[in-house]
Amino acid sequence: MISTEWRRIAVADGEMDVFVARSGKDNAPSIVLIQEIFGVNDHIQSVVKGYAEQGYDVYAPDIFWRSARKVSLSYAGDDMQTALGLLKATDEEKVLADILVLRDVIAAEQSNGKCAVMGYCFGGLLTYMAAASGKFDAGVSYYGGRIGDREALADSITVPMMFHFGEKDSHIPISTIDMLQRKFAGRSDVSIYVHPEADHGFNCSVRASYHEAAAARAAELSKDFLANVLA
């Protein structure tokens, strides 16, 4: 039986809220799961709980806490504009620092010790950045925007990685995928998947861009990947 709670952890300049779902299993590995720009909303909480049901203790940091706490937005209209405003006001390096503090907190609390980072959209970029820190055991990035602007970070990623992109995602240039394929050529522990007919946000069942087949395929690949690297 999984359990969920909101908790706060101290970071460099305040306290960050974190939504936590615990698997209830002894020696469970962990996942830091990073939201889209729409907050730790009902969808993200459902994803967190889904991975907890697979046997992980999962932590979803409220990355916009400096601007607004526990943001929970929908995917269109005024909420979309609010989300874009929050993104614009966010310092990526401060958020990365928060994520690394959370990783240290998990390391101090968890007897298993292994922890992956996983994220969607803006969270996919932050996953890429966090993986380059060397503090995580693996990373899974879904349609991370602006990864292509941080090409040099790829050289610092030594842990297993999985990337998911949509074939029809106009937000992410093909040059980003080409760069990743070039940077990780020869790395058997790094996989880059471009899902046919899928658009940005294809994993989210409450978005207009949801693609059931791509979401299912990516979920199965991610499940197997995490089971292998966090065993």
Q: What is the mean pLDDT of residues 178-206?
A: 98
- Which residues does 224 contact at the CB level (< 8 Å), separation at least 6? none
pLDDT of residue 110: 78
Helical spans, DSSP H, in 59-138: 77-88, 92-109, 122-131
pLDDT at 39 over 80: yes
Question: Using CB atoms within 10 A of its CB, is residue 188 exposed (0-12), middle (13-18) or buried (19+)?
Answer: exposed
pLDDT > 90: percent of the chain? 96
Task: Compute φ and ψ for 172, nearest 5 degrees.
Answer: -120, 115
Q: Is the pLDDT of residue 111 over 80?
A: no
- Supply the mean pLDDT for the chain: 97
Please report which confidence band the pLDDT of residue 176 belongs to, taking 50, 70 and 90 as the band edges.
Answer: very high
The whole-number pLDDT of residue 211 equals: 98
Alpha-carbon 124 to chain mean position: 5
Radius of gyration of the chain (CA): 16
Instruction: Round to whole Å and give the CA distance between 186 and 133.
Output: 21
The pLDDT of 13-21, averaged and rounded, is 98
Q: Please give the pLDDT value at position 223.
A: 98
Of the pLDDT bands very low, low, confident and very high (cuts 50, 70, 90), residue 146 is very high
**Domains by residue range for the chain, with CATH:** 3-230 (3.40.50.1820)
The number of helices, as runs of H, and strands, as runs of E, in the chain is: 6, 8
- What number is the average pLDDT over the span 170-177? 96
Distance (Å, whole) CA 25 – CA 42: 24
User: Pairing mode, if any, of strands 14-22 and 57-61?
Assistant: antiparallel
Q: Model confidence at 113, in pLDDT bands (50, 70, 90)?
A: confident
Is the confidence at residue 21, as pLDDT, over 90?
Answer: yes
E-strand spans in the chain?
3-11, 14-22, 30-34, 57-61, 115-120, 138-142, 161-166, 190-195
**Quick one: CA torsion of 211, 180, 136, 36, rounded to 10 degrees?**
-40
- pLDDT score of 112: 83
pLDDT of res. 224? 98
Condensed to tens digits (0 to 9), the pLDDT of residues 57-99 reads 999 999 999 999 999 999 999 999 999 999 999 999 999 999 9
State the average pLDDT over residues 133-138: 98
